[in-house]
Amino acid sequence: MDMVNDTKTHPGSIVPRAPTTIAETGISVNSLLRLVLKAMYVRGIDLGTVLADELQISISIIQDVLDEARERKLLETRGSEGASIKSEVRYGLTIMGQEWASEALEQSQYIGPAPITLSDFHNQAGRQLLLGERVEESALFDRFSGLVLPDTLVRRLGQAVNSARPLLLYGTPGNGKTTLAEIIGEVFEDIIFIPYCIEVDSKIVKIYDPALHVRVTDPESLLQKVPEIAQLKPRDIDGRWVACRRPMIRVGGELTLEMLDLQFNPYSKFYEAPLHVKAVGGTFLIDDLGRQLVEPEALLNRWITPMDRRVDYLSLDTGRTFTVPFDVFVIFATNLTPEDLMDPAFLRRISYKVEVKKPTPDEFRQVFSMVCDQHDLTYDDEAVSFVMDKIENVLEQPLAFYQAHFVVDQVLSACKYLGEPPRFDTGLLIDALDNISLKEGMVELDGPNETTIRRAEYAQVSPNRDDSILQ
């Protein structure tokens, strides 16, 4: 049974309070002993203060563990270090202690901050729920200020964000579904606390991931978002937790069902939490839904229980099944229509379904103008009309928001190659349009008159158009 520590936080507080005794850690003496002995054996640590820093628990608890180890004849004192007033006892492993450490390493090679209990993980997640943070309309509009979006779309996204319920973004490719989802994930501003690891049945499950979690170390940011820290001393805060921004984790076509389960490393012999557990308290984006190797139905069925009950079930290799919190804002993004992707029963479980539509001609021009401004390129409405005409009538594709960025980037690269200042030219635009699509029948020409011949062939589609302005 998991030990529950109810003294580590105060009502209304989200800051985990440092335990002052072994009992308050919720971790058994034997587990702490194994961590201490492994750290001493592998890293050559012989001072209590260094061990306290390694395990992120107080020196008083470490001293109790060291005393226990001495009573069991696992350690011996080896003099002291430092000036006489501030001297510190040095410790060394006995032969029995080395054997203990070696056996502990065979069970798990994890060395680092002490774990927290599963109960504490649930309790802390409940104190820092996504629903506890309100994302204001002004904040959302500010985040989306660099995009061209209808106000109605922003309003619907804002409602989904503040509900923390599942969101489906769908629509034709290239119109910013992924960009929208990533911005949504970053709009949350609260600071939350993420554990280095948890212990379940004496097994270590790592959660904090420096590659995915954004740690907050700036004192001003901490004080602004967690003002109660001002009333606490560093030793009052449980170092087994890391202050972080709400996580934003994205997976795409590489996602498999196995990635949603605990990952056991047979060499290190501890577990890595699945990505959606690392996303607790934040956003989890499943991008390109329908492009995964696993069938969409199987993948979606995996999410029914977590989305309904706000908990997920994981299993150790021993067969022990346990629950973890699922306070996650799940965003599905897909190029497929919802009806083709999922059955009505699952569709009902997704509270918000938002179509990201292709741009209108005016919106396309607005995006093109913004992109030109970003690259100090003079906007040319005739050039944009030319691009729109060829995309729709030659490439036979719908307009998409990405096309403006694509074309401008291609033109800039071509001008750089030619050693010319950035400019719009019919030939350069045609080169860019050729790279948008591999549609059969597109022009592939060589020779010195390439631009002239291309211009003539494209003119067959719009014979009345005067493209000389683009020269």
Measured distance CA(146)–CA(367) in Å, rounded: 9
Q: Which residue, 401, 395, 470, 467, is CA-closest to 435?
A: 395
Would you state the pLDDT for residue 425? 86
Measured distance CA(471)–CA(452) in Å, rounded: 10
For the cut 60, the answer to whether the pLDDT of residue 298 exceeds it is yes
Would you state the pLDDT for residue 465? 40
- Within its chain, how far is the Cα of 202 from the centroid? 28
Beta strands in 345-469 (DSSP E): 352-355
- Within its chain, how far is the Cα of 97 from the centroid? 41
More confidently predicted of 371 and 471: 371
- Within its chain, how far is the Cα of 146 from the centroid? 22
Give percent of the chain with pLDDT exceeding 70. 89
Would you state the pLDDT for residue 90? 93
- At 110, the amino acid letter reads Y
Q: Which residue, 143, 141, 139, 167, is CA-closest to 154?
A: 141
Would you state the pLDDT for residue 280? 97
Measured distance CA(314)–CA(337) in Å, rounded: 31
Round the CA-based radius of gyration of the chain to a whole number and report it.
29
Per-residue pLDDT reduced to its tens digit, 137-173: 888 889 888 889 888 899 999 999 999 999 999 999 9
Would you state the pLDDT for residue 337? 87
| pTM of model > 0.75 | yes
Would you state the pLDDT for residue 13? 81
Among the ranges given (81-90, 171-180, 391-400, 409-418), the one the predictor scored with the smallest mean pLDDT: 81-90
Name the average pLDDT for the chain.
Answer: 87
Tell me if residue 128 falls in helix, strand or coil.
Answer: coil
Alpha helices in 29-150 (DSSP H): 29-43, 48-55, 59-71, 95-107, 118-127, 137-143
Mean pLDDT to the nearest integer, 44-62: 95
Would you state the pLDDT for residue 457? 44
Tokens standing for residue 458: 């494209």
Residue with the two structure tokens 């683009």: 470
Residue with the two structure tokens 């599963």: 118
Per-residue pLDDT reduced to its tens digit, 99-134: 999 999 999 999 999 999 999 999 999 999 999 999
Beta strands in 207-362 (DSSP E): 241-245, 248-251, 263-264, 271-272, 283-286, 311-315, 321-325, 329-334, 352-355
Residues 162, 274, 107: CA angle, nearest 5 degrees: 145
Residue with the two structure tokens 């839904």: 289
For the cut 90, the answer to whether the pLDDT of residue 346 exceeds it is no
Would you state the pLDDT for residue 8? 53
- Return phi, psi of residue 52, to 5°: -60, -40
Sorted by sequence, the CB contacts under 8 Å of residue 457 that are 6+ apart come out as 443
Element (H, E) at 81: strand 75-81
Would you state the pLDDT for residue 145? 85
Would you state the pLDDT for residue 85? 55
More confidently predicted of 288 and 196: 196
In this structure, what DSSP letter does residue 237 have? Answer: B
Would you state the pLDDT for residue 84? 54
Tell me if residue 112 falls in helix, strand or coil.
Answer: coil
- Return phi, psi of residue 30, to 5°: -65, -40
Would you state the pLDDT for residue 253? 85
Tokens standing for residue 162: 């503040």
Element (H, E) at 379: none
235 forms bridges with which residues in the sheet?
none
